[in-house]
Amino acid sequence: MTDQKTPRGADGGPTGIEPISIVEEMQRSYLDYAMSVIVSRALPDVRDGLKPVHRRILFAAHESGYHWNRKYVKSARPVADVMGKYHPHGDASIYDALVRMAQDWSLRVPLIDGQGNFG
């Protein structure tokens, strides 16, 4: 396939490959992944106090025309919009975030106007 040959070391093995401890590599890799999850998903952004799932819900609601001066829709509609377009995981986190945005004690300003039992 290629005309290039892999450089070989004195023992006949490829050069540039360094032996590492699997335990150390797993610890480092897991810590890197955990920190990226905490920083990018688990903690609210300092600029607006929203997590990515909250931002996705608000954007999908705007894109779908769910505005303050329109009639209420069942909560399954915006959840399906978010899950289908922007958040291809489970719907539980979307429902939780949607309800949290409607509670006046959860956020300083409720971002969603929940109607009825909001279910």
pLDDT in tens, 68-87: 898 888 888 989 999 999 87
How many domains does the structure of the chain reveal? 2
Instruction: Verify that 28 and 82 share a domain, yes or no.
Output: no
Prediction pTM value: 0.66
Instruction: Verify that 37 and 73 share a domain, yes or no.
Output: no
pLDDT digits (tens, 9 = 90+) for 40-66: 777 888 888 888 889 999 999 999 999
Instruction: Verify that 97 and 116 share a domain, yes or no.
Output: yes
Instruction: Verify that 59 and 93 share a domain, yes or no.
Output: yes
Range of the domain at 26: 20-46
The better pLDDT of the pair 115, 62 is held by 62
Instruction: Verify that 107 and 60 share a domain, yes or no.
Output: yes
The phi, psi pair for 8, rounded to 5°, reads -115, 145
118: closest CA among 41, 107, 104, 109?
104
CA 10, chain centre distance (Å): 47
Instruction: Verify that 37 and 77 share a domain, yes or no.
Output: no
